[in-house]
Structure 1
Amino acid sequence: MNMFKKILILGLLLISTQMMAQTGILRGKITEATTGEGAIGATVTLAGTTNAAFTDIDGEFTLTVPYGKHNLIISYVGFQKKTIADIIINEKKGEVYLENIVLDTDTQTLQEVVVRAELLRTSEAAITMIKHNSSVILDGISSAKMKITGDATAVEAAKRITGVSIEGGKYVYVRGLGDRYTKTTLNGMDIPGLDPDRNSLQMDIFPTSLIDNIMVSKNFSAEMPADFTGGLMNVETKAFPEHKVFNVSFGVGYNPQANLKSDFLTYDGGKYDFLGFDDGSRELPGLAAGVNVPTPISGHSKEEVTSFVKSFNPELATKTKTSPLNYSGGITFGDQRLLGQSSNKLGYILSLNYKLDYQFYDDVNYGEYQRYNDASLTEMRYATVQNGQYTDESVLLGGLAGLAFKGKSTKIRLTAMRLQNGEKRAGIFDIDNDGAAVGQSGYIAKSNNLEYNQRSLNNFLLAGTHLLSNDKLEIDWKLSTTYSISEDPDIRKSAFTYTSNNDIVFSAGAGGLPSRIWRDLDEVGQNGRVDLSYGYAFKGNSAKVRIGANVLRKERNFEIKQFQMAFFGGAAGGTWATDDFSTILNEGNIYPNKQPNNIYYQSGNNDPNPNEYNSRSLNQGYYVSNEMSFGDRTKVIAGLRLEEFKQYHTGRDQSYASGDIVNGRNLDDEVVLSSVNLFPSLNVIYKLGELANARFAYAKTIARPSFKELSFAQIIDPLTNRIFNGSLFTYSDWDGELLETKIDNFDLRLEKYGERGELISLSGFYKKFRNPIELIRIPEQQTSTEYQPRNVGDGMVLGVELELIRNLSFVSQAMQDWQLSLNFSAVKSQIDMSASEYNSRLEYVRDGETIEAVRKMAGQAPYILNGGISYNSFEKGLDMGLFYNVKGSTLNIVGIGLFPDVYTEAFHSLNFGLNKKLGKSEKLSLDVKASNILDDTVDVVYKSYKAENQMFSSHNPGRSFSVGLNFKL
């Protein structure tokens, strides 16, 4: 009997466990159609039961429901009751998330609205709703669209957005304006960049798997930072998982030009290169940190000199290997839990991603060209040209951990993110210098280049939202700290020069002496902000007033240390029997061995170092804005922002560092920029229909110089020998005073939205610039290629944008799963030349050429086109699309006098992506991608009157193909 009872009890337990297992989770988000915001406190009931829940601060709800087909009833005061029918939850769909439930007001009809659950399946529609209800002109892309396009990083995804273009594969430009006019924020907070040569953030380090959405504000409102003009791009990382997530992915890629190549250039690196950072083998030798390094003329012993030379890595030559396939992998885990019997939730997410990518540019060209002094000669002449091969092994490692608490009136979020990127590069180049060109000596040389760059970004965010006074008062606060590092440890360049007698030598005045460079940048950003908004009634309509404050502190440390190979006694560099770079630092060539070589290293760093600086800035912003409606159609948002900005600099020029304290300049934490500015903004939205708006906006904004631009830094590109000079250096035509750029912005937009995310919009914009900053070729530097940021004459930009997203069911009902997307921007820009630029162009005018006092704005693209056709079948579990992107030829560097202008040519990007769910459970999916299908090249060229374009730089990234598997539990 006892045994029978035990078996009975065990059987009952098994049955009850099985019954408990026959339940699933139903989650969703409910949005108010009038505002696009979450409906807080709406009642969600499972039809025919007492099983109910209330939506939280984001309008989200969670219900535990038995397997089967269900109807869901949603009721919310002031809005139509809605029923979601035919929701199926079973073993295949144990958890269902309804992501696009929109409630309409009950002013039109009191009838209940019934829709089928299958219609609620595209988060792109949610993005469309956000755009429709936004108080500013907004465009964006969701994580769902990124998955369809197959984009791996944020920079690839961003180019799908209207008016967005990509520069250098890393930097985002909005409306074709240069990088200084585009601002990037992470989760609404400012973050420091990783590149000393740019104002904007490198977007290629953000894996799309960590991103929830990317939104671009095309115009300014008072709660935004004022230092943008083209657009403000916000990258929102995943925070609170909408449903349980456990994804594992792995993919392989193949580029015929780069993968499985037996002649892939490389060199021995560190054992942690595969993780994206150096293991210390490239670190600066200990004795090299000082100024008085051991040399034969410094009083050090022979043993000390020899030991010092041997402390440098002896590898100066490229070698070859067979490159493997590209591959990537990732794992993401997240979920949310109800806390006790309350509706409070705790969400968490963990994600780790890895990507290894090989690039082989087997026909790379760099050129320096000049105009002839003879005005009758329209063609350009070369000063130096380099042709060769260049490879890049890139590792991207990203991790994110997030924890979030949500209740009906409170949300608190803690997120930590680490991004690590390492790039190992190797190149071989043939160099030809024309001695007949101005400032040139004439030589033939061959170089080997070995480089490594490691970048990291660490971001910590703590944020909260609280609703008070019956949800009328909302308090948002955010605290963020970001620490970024960019290091180039041990950049090695060696160039053999071939004399007219066919001797192989090292020559300082020709190919140059072998050199090594260490560059270090670290930057910390601390950002805190608080925003308060209060809802009230104005003449029977809802209104809202906002006030807030923002404090941003940034500090950067930057240093370059460089060393040059020297040769003791006899002719510098001696004569070499072979041009084998791997033999340069052989034992027999190192001091104190006999001539012809006798190698030692000498420091190129003075004390204090002119290529070392510390810069910091403090920006305090305060704003007030008010949003109110006038009748049923007109909404007005007016605001005023005040920003107090100060930038400090510690650094010195070459003269001071060399001991000339009388004529040299030295700054010790001195203010180099100080301003207090008011930024008014006005946004007017007129409702043309239920789903159509007319928008007008005006605002003042600003563009400030970067840390690097307001410095004495001289940064050389070891590959091309091109040199960037900070603006603090003075020349005969430049006083060293770099000013802020102030901009007046006018925007007009007509937009109409349709079902399933459809949209057609037409926008026009005009911008007036005072003291714009552009990169100028320094005319006084004729023996070297040097550039400097300077204020130029006032300018303007006039443009139009067209966006169309259309479901193709109007062609045929059989095409209801097909969608066409198209956006096009056309822009006219104009800059008034400064007197010095205009006169220098007159000095080198060609016969028949007319020089006007105006020209195009540097960095402004004349047009941008994005187009795509996609197929999305929920029933078949198939998403695929073909996407095209191009940006028109754009003035990149302003050439003056002898030197022609430099333009970035159009790059035609055509990519294909496919995602197919596999198996009955659809837990496994297949990703297929093809990139640069047209096999286009990235060309930057010199342009001059009636002359054939000549190459500034050129490389072909090649076509690439990848296949990946994604497993979702």
Structure 2
Amino acid sequence: MKKIIATVLLLSAFLPSFAQTGTVRGTVTDRSNGEPLFGVAAVVAGTTKGAVTDFDGKFEFQLEPGVYNLQFSFVSFERINITDVVVDAGEVTVLHNIMMNESVETLEAVVVSAEAIRSSETALLTVKRKSPALMDGISAASFDKIGDSDAGDAVKRVTGVSVEGGKYVFVRGLGDRYTKTMLNNVDIPGLDPDRNSLQIDIFPTSLLNNMMVAKSFTADMPADFTGGMVNIETKDFPDERIFDISVSTGFNPSMHFNDNYLSYKGSSTDWLGFDDGQRSLPQYAKETTIPTPLSAIGGQYTEQEVNTFVNSFDPNMAAQRSTSFMDYGVSATYGDQTSVGSGKLGYIFSLSYKNSTKYYDDVVYGEYQLSSDLSRNELQYSLIQDGERGESNVLLAGLAGLAYKTHLSKYKLMVMHLQNGESTAMKLNIDNDGDAAIGQSGYQASADNLSYNQRGLTNVMLNGEHNNSNGNWNVEWKLASTFSNMVDPDIRRTAFTITPSGNSVFSPGAGGYPSRTWRYLDEVNLVGKIDVARKYMFLGEDAKVKFGVSHVYKQRDYEILTYNMQFFGSQPDFGGDPDKVLEDQYIYPNGPVYFQTGNNTPNPNAYNSNLNNTAFYISNEFNPLTNLKAIVGLRAEKFTQRHTGRDIEYASFGENGNGNNLDNEKVLDALDLFPTVNLVYSLTETMNLRGSYSRTIARPSFKELSFAQIIDPMTNRIFDGGLYAFDGSWDGNLHESNINNFDLRWETYMQQGQILSVSAFYKTFQDPIELVRIPLQATSTEYQPRNVGDGTLFGLELEFRKNLDFIAQFLESFSINGNMTLVKSEIQMTDTEYVSRVNNARDGQTIENTRPMAGQAPYILNGGIGYDNSKLGMDVGLFYNVRGATLTIVGGGIFPDIYEQPFHSLNFNLNKSFGINRKSSVSFGIDNILNSERRVDYTGYKASNQPYTRYSPGTSFNVSYKLSI
């Protein structure tokens, strides 16, 4: 005990001396290109106290409390004196944005106040201005100022960007196929395995350094993007300790505290985003022969085993009424850096939880056709499902990062896990038209649909960076593995057909028998890459050559299992109540109810796919003329995709039929070259003229390049894999699309982050992939990805950000910003599509052999007015966003085109920080002030738009509180 007391007293004696010092940290960059400067001397003026910057341009040293003038010097660069640097005991003073100019001759030192370099936003604009690629972005400084809680909210403010559902980024109006999202410059899949983009609302802004959107291609980037590539960069060495705790809540008057909310009984762990086994596949369900009355009569199973098998299915089949709760969330982020040996250790941890509830009482899912009467323009409905939908969505995200840095090297390890669970319950009225619609039987029905989607993603990323002593050589390597799992356990659909007399029955030719569906997806994604950069002199100017190699391996296993209810004898009267269907009195042998498998052996809806993509690139950045920078590169990708699967005919008849069966066979195999040229001409120090050319590619996904037929039990719509051939309209040869990209941009940068830029871009598409309504399938609603005719698009882009102090000085805290993208796209129709449109043209309608490109919006508008007063700690903004009507699914034959209609999003945001050091802040927001409706519509010649999908999200109010400890 005496030793412990003595130790405590000894530490107490030393701790005050440690607490008497403060820490100064900062970053020094080259003003000419935004790159970090290695070896800059940072000292207190008139002393030798200080440090030298490392390869990241970072420095750190300790000083006693006080106010200091710091001096920065570097060979062939102007000296900088920074005045009024305040150092407090036990605190960290951060100087984000120290930018040095090259010096032609010895000049007096540049003197800057410390207050002028607190924000890193200017540094980001320098990177953007000097970037070899055409690039836009948003920095951590903007995150703090605006108060956006996650990356999904923040990225909306980037030029030419729109965000779908608050999660997925579209660039320049191009859809998901042409946009790529990366994390720390590594390709990782998202929670939705069929999307090219990562769900970005999972990242709290306190975790991020910046988000950059590349709109032109350079050879060191993956070639499979066209509209843009979004890179999310997380912090590794926080400049100052981060300990942020935030809570949020949201209220939508049309959705929350609503007694009509629809849900159903799930499992005890649904609130954590996964099922605890309540919805697991019953025993014997995967056997070739499952327990049925016929198998019991044949002696394979007993009657009791049949009864037990049916009873093992969850008996809850009806959507239940309950009261919906508000949205809520909580997140915590902690990070710091410390000295370890001769290096520094940085660490950051983040955990977030979101629970959201949505209720729509006006959902509509419609199927429409062109009338068989060519003189009639109005569309004819074939099926309308309308009613109510309740959703409960849980997202749990955890991230941990460690980084260790010596003077010449850095190592980083990041582990991330995402867990998402969404429970959905629906009550729909079904109206099928059997009179005028082609291929329909005609009936009325009511349906209860229940589903649960569970997704998990684990990513582990390890990378290292190494530099030589003079900073001329840089080697960076990355290894990443991602394991994804998606399960739709026990999707239930119970549809009672309403007879003319008003009775509710199950009818296979109408509403159908009750069904249960299980879907499983497992995917592995492995990435390895190494990049080497060498700085050298060319014609007396700085130049850089960069080369590297990478390999990507992906594998997916997918399976769908379905089970349909049957009746061994006459059908009981259930009184239209789905929850009565599996009562014990009706289950065999007590009653006629049993389940029959809908799965062939082998299963046509099971497949395994894998791909290997090996890439090599070389790129050279140099100045061939004064003020002209050229970045010339070439990338090669050897891409091979293999597939194991079969179509329905082979599954039914085997080798005796004419079906197709693939066993790890190549479905894509190509060596592609992707040249790129980027030119940047500096008209002045703050004004650039850019031009670029590149070749990129868009490849089909695993699901698209398969034989799978995937039915959405909630809407009864069917996705057919692109390997299926349809006589006369599609040969089953789905392949990649090659794109040529041309860009031209003029940009000028002004003080206080003001900017003005004008861009033009042109793209050509060879055999683009689009989702097409299958014309031959009139009795069911089926879609398929297909290569269509060649396409082109031409676009213009305008961005501005301007303070209003030019009008009057009292408006200095106000600013306006906006960006606008206008696009004209055109697809040359295939002969099959053109003929089908001509044969179904309305009287007086002229059919051209071109149409707009699917997935390409004709315009994007982003605009806002902001008030930013740092003295008050207040930032207020009103933001507007809209994306023009976009062709989503290509029609054909009797089926009209389907367009996503504009959603006029007007949002208000206020962020107010409090306290001496602004350690706490409150944000308040209003989303969808205009109460705009989400609409995807069928369109026709001189016809009123009719609903494919419609619902009203309503206006929502959200409040969040963040405390920085």
When normalised by structure 1's length, the TM-score is: 0.96
**Structure-to-structure mapping, 1:8-47, within 5 angstroms:** 17-18=15-16, 20-47=18-45
Which residue of structure 2 lines up, in the alignment, with residue 872 of structure 1?
868
Structure 1 residue 88 displacement after superposition: 2.2
Q: Structure 2: how far apart are the matches of 1:404 and 1:930? A: 38
8 Å CA contact 1:192–1:523 kept in 2: the answer is no
Deviations 1:591-643 (A, max 9, x none): 1224xxx2111111111111111100000111111111134300111111111
Letter in 2 for 1:795: G
Change (3 A) 1:11 1:69: farther
Q: Secondary structure at the match of 1:289?
A: coil
Say which of 705, 711, 724 aligns to 1:710: 705
Say which of 739, 747, 768 aligns to 2:764: 768
8 Å CA contact 1:149–1:912 kept in 2: the answer is no
Which residue of structure 2 lines up, in the alignment, with residue 88 of structure 1?
86
Task: Work out the percentage of aligned pairs sharing the same amino acid.
Answer: 51
Q: Structure 1: how far apart are the matches of 2:713 and 2:217? A: 39
Structure 1 residue 960 displacement after superposition: 1.5
8 Å CA contact 1:792–1:834 kept in 2: the answer is yes
Structure 1 residue 751 displacement after superposition: 0.6
Q: Secondary structure at the match of 2:653?
A: coil
Which residue of structure 1 lines up, in the alignment, with residue 640 of structure 2?
646
8 Å CA contact 1:41–1:408 kept in 2: the answer is no
Which residue of structure 2 lines up, in the alignment, with residue 233 of structure 1?
230
Which residue of structure 2 lines up, in the alignment, with residue 358 of structure 1?
357
Change (3 A) 1:11 1:933: same
Q: Structure 2: how far apart are the matches of 1:454 and 1:660? A: 34
Structure 1 residue 897 displacement after superposition: 1.3
Q: Structure 1: how far apart are the matches of 2:104 and 2:952? A: 59
Change (3 A) 1:202 1:36: same
Q: Structure 1: how far apart are the matches of 2:935 and 2:73? A: 58
Which residue of structure 2 lines up, in the alignment, with residue 560 of structure 1?
560
Change (3 A) 1:376 1:252: same
Structure 1 residue 183 displacement after superposition: 1.5
Structure 1 residue 303 displacement after superposition: 0.7
Q: Structure 2: how far apart are the matches of 1:815 and 1:69? A: 32
Which residue of structure 1 lines up, in the alignment, with residue 62 of structure 2?
64
Change (3 A) 1:154 1:292: farther
When structure 1 is superposed on structure 2, of 288-297 and 147-156 the one drifting more is 147-156
When structure 1 is superposed on structure 2, of 681-690 and 629-638 the one drifting more is 629-638
Letter in 2 for 1:67: P
2:622 matches 1:628: yes
**Structure-to-structure mapping, 1:830-869, within 5 angstroms:** 830-869=826-865
Q: Structure 2: how far apart are the matches of 1:108 and 1:936? A: 61
Which residue of structure 1 lines up, in the alignment, with residue 600 of structure 2?
606
Q: Structure 1: how far apart are the matches of 2:745 and 2:42? A: 37
Which residue of structure 1 lines up, in the alignment, with residue 675 of structure 2?
680
Q: Structure 1: how far apart are the matches of 2:116 and 2:888? A: 47
**Structure-to-structure mapping, 1:274-289, within 5 angstroms:** 274-289=271-286
Q: Structure 2: how far apart are the matches of 1:510 and 1:382? A: 16
Letter in 2 for 1:73: Q
Which residue of structure 2 lines up, in the alignment, with residue 432 of structure 1?
431
Structure 1 residue 950 displacement after superposition: 0.2
Which residue of structure 2 lines up, in the alignment, with residue 131 of structure 1?
128
Which residue of structure 2 lines up, in the alignment, with residue 4 of structure 1?
none
Q: Structure 1: how far apart are the matches of 2:14 and 2:171? A: 59
Letter in 2 for 1:399: G
Structure 1 residue 918 displacement after superposition: 1.8
Change (3 A) 1:11 1:615: closer
Structure 1 residue 788 displacement after superposition: 0.5
When structure 1 is superposed on structure 2, of 180-189 and 768-777 the one drifting more is 180-189
Q: Structure 2: how far apart are the matches of 1:264 and 1:10? A: 60
Q: Structure 2: how far apart are the matches of 1:123 and 1:914? A: 22
Deviations 1:183-237 (A, max 9, x none): 1222111112443543443444444444332211101111111111111111222
Q: Structure 2: how far apart are the matches of 1:667 and 1:231? A: 34
Deviations 1:93-118 (A, max 9, x none): 92221212111122276121111122
8 Å CA contact 2:709–2:720 kept in 1: the answer is yes
Which residue of structure 1 lines up, in the alignment, with residue 497 of structure 2?
497
Q: Structure 2: how far apart are the matches of 1:125 and 1:926? A: 26
Change (3 A) 1:12 1:549: closer
Deviations 1:467-504 (A, max 9, x none): 12621111111111111122211111111110112121
Q: Structure 2: how far apart are the matches of 1:540 and 1:13? A: 57
When structure 1 is superposed on structure 2, of 51-60 and 202-211 the one drifting more is 202-211
Q: Structure 2: how far apart are the matches of 1:442 and 1:13? A: 85
8 Å CA contact 1:150–1:929 kept in 2: the answer is no
Which residue of structure 2 lines up, in the alignment, with residue 385 of structure 1?
384
Unaligned runs of 5+ in 2: 1-6
Q: Structure 2: how far apart are the matches of 1:383 and 1:197? A: 29
Structure 1 residue 28 displacement after superposition: 1.3
Q: Secondary structure at the match of 2:838?
A: helix
Deviations 1:245-269 (A, max 9, x none): 1111112221112222222211111
Letter in 2 for 1:851: I
Deviations 1:617-671 (A, max 9, x none): 0001111111111343001111111111100000000011112423111100000
Q: Structure 1: how far apart are the matches of 2:714 and 2:696? A: 37
**Structure-to-structure mapping, 1:220-299, within 5 angstroms:** 220-299=217-296
Equivalent pairs counted in the alignment come to 953
Q: Structure 2: how far apart are the matches of 1:526 and 1:186? A: 14
Structure 1 residue 398 displacement after superposition: 0.9
Change (3 A) 1:125 1:139: same
Letter in 2 for 1:608: P
When structure 1 is superposed on structure 2, of 703-712 and 867-876 the one drifting more is 867-876
8 Å CA contact 2:26–2:95 kept in 1: the answer is yes
2:508 matches 1:508: yes
Letter in 1 for 2:129: H
Deviations 1:830-859 (A, max 9, x none): 000000000000111001110000000000
**Structure-to-structure mapping, 1:898-909, within 5 angstroms:** 898-909=894-905
Which residue of structure 2 lines up, in the alignment, with residue 5 of structure 1?
none
8 Å CA contact 1:559–1:613 kept in 2: the answer is yes
Deviations 1:337-368 (A, max 9, x none): 1234x4x2111111111111111112111100
Letter in 1 for 2:353: Y
Q: Structure 2: how far apart are the matches of 1:395 and 1:10? A: 47
Which residue of structure 2 lines up, in the alignment, with residue 825 of structure 1?
821
Q: Secondary structure at the match of 2:177?
A: helix
Which residue of structure 2 lines up, in the alignment, with residue 339 of structure 1?
340
Structure 1 residue 17 displacement after superposition: 4.7
Unaligned runs of 5+ in 1: 1-8
When structure 1 is superposed on structure 2, of 865-874 and 512-521 the one drifting more is 865-874
Deviations 1:403-426 (A, max 9, x none): 111222211111111111111111
Say which of 687, 695, 705 aligns to 2:690: 695
Q: Secondary structure at the match of 1:243?
A: coil
Letter in 2 for 1:665: N
Which residue of structure 1 lines up, in the alignment, with residue 931 of structure 2?
935
Change (3 A) 1:95 1:829: same
Q: Structure 1: how far apart are the matches of 2:143 and 2:104? A: 37
Change (3 A) 1:144 1:489: farther
Q: Structure 1: how far apart are the matches of 2:501 and 2:558? A: 43
Change (3 A) 1:200 1:21: closer
Letter in 1 for 2:819: N
Give 4+ residue runs of structure 1 displaced > 6 Å after superposition: 9-16
Q: Structure 2: how far apart are the matches of 1:417 and 1:14? A: 39
Say which of 714, 725, 728 aligns to 1:719: 714
Change (3 A) 1:12 1:149: closer
Which residue of structure 2 lines up, in the alignment, with residue 882 of structure 1?
878
8 Å CA contact 1:196–1:708 kept in 2: the answer is no
Q: Structure 2: how far apart are the matches of 1:932 and 1:239? A: 35
2:480 matches 1:484: no
When structure 1 is superposed on structure 2, of 691-700 and 629-638 the one drifting more is 629-638
When structure 1 is superposed on structure 2, of 186-195 and 944-953 the one drifting more is 186-195
Which residue of structure 2 lines up, in the alignment, with residue 947 of structure 1?
943
